[in-house]
Amino acid sequence: MSKILPQAQALVGLLLSLMPTYHQRRSLQALLGLFLEAQGHPLPEYCQDKSPAALSRFLNCYSWPTRAVIRQVRAYLVQVLLAHRPKGRRPHLQLILDLTCLPKRGRFKALAPLIRVFHGKRGLHVVLLYVVVGHWRFPWGARVYRGKGTPSQAQLGLRLLRTIPKPLKQHFRIMVLADGGFGSIAFLQGVRQLDMHALVGVSRQRCIHDGRHLHELVHSGSQVRLRGWDRPVWVGWYWFKREKGEMRQRFVVCTRRLKGPP
């Protein structure tokens, strides 16, 4: 813990004070030490202060105030972000939404309702929200995607965006970045209703108001209206190389005009 950054000491002290017992405080301190030393060995077996079994019990068995920890960490992040005041115009804040899979093999009785196969991947599917300013990137929140008949990943993403506090929205110009799973009209409308802008991936077959598809456009940066929405968006595309050298084209739409290609 000696290598911890000075500006994080107060937060760590506060989080440790939330732990109900001395042994839980020691376990949390050991886990934080593994991560904050940044030596590339954050797994419990590399801990020199507590056994892997003790850390496993802390993470999986013991009862401690998870919500209080999240609230305190978020309050600290808000303070750090609001203190970031570069000269010039109102700074930008990026919010990255991503649906990721935590692979699971075997049977997990307690997680049985949550483990499913989605897009060919079996595991726990989670929508994550990251906050990015400059070189800083912080995890902000997560929601579990429970499959068909439950809130979609786009709906879960909007729920996460609603947790961004008002002071951040007042201080920053916010851009939401997401892949094609968040490209629905309902999602774009929801982002604009939150007074944010969105830059999201979309299918090349996406229709615009005149019946054409995006891949039929000639100029990157064109202003169009997607079918089903009367607000203008700006379309761009880029090429990237796959592992076998194959070039693939990807399309994005943005709810505000950007300088240069999106």
| Alpha carbon of residue 128 to chain centroid | 4
The pLDDT of residue 4 is 45
Candidate from 45-49, 54-58, 79-83, 233-237 with smallest mean pLDDT: 45-49
pLDDT band (50, 70, 90) for residue 59: confident
Lowest model confidence (mean pLDDT) among 41-55, 148-162, 174-188, 204-218: 41-55
pLDDT bracket for residue 240 (50, 70, 90):
confident
Q: Residue 258: which pLDDT band, with cuts at 50, 70 and 90?
A: confident
Determine the distance from the C-alpha atom of residue 154 to the mean position of all C-alpha atoms in its chain, rounded to a whole number. Answer: 12
Report residue 42 as tokens. 């954050």
Q: Residues near 227 by Cβ (< 8 Å), separated by ≥ 6?
A: 206, 207, 208, 209
> Given this model, what pLDDT does residue 45 score?
76
**Bridge pairing between strands 92-103 and 173-178:** parallel
Helix, strand, coil in percent for the chain, rounding step 5: 35, 30, 35
SS3 at position 153: helix
Per-residue HEC secondary structure of 185-242 comes to: HHHHHHHHHCCCEEEEEECCCCEECCCCEHHHCCCCCEEEEECCCCCEEEEEEEEEEC
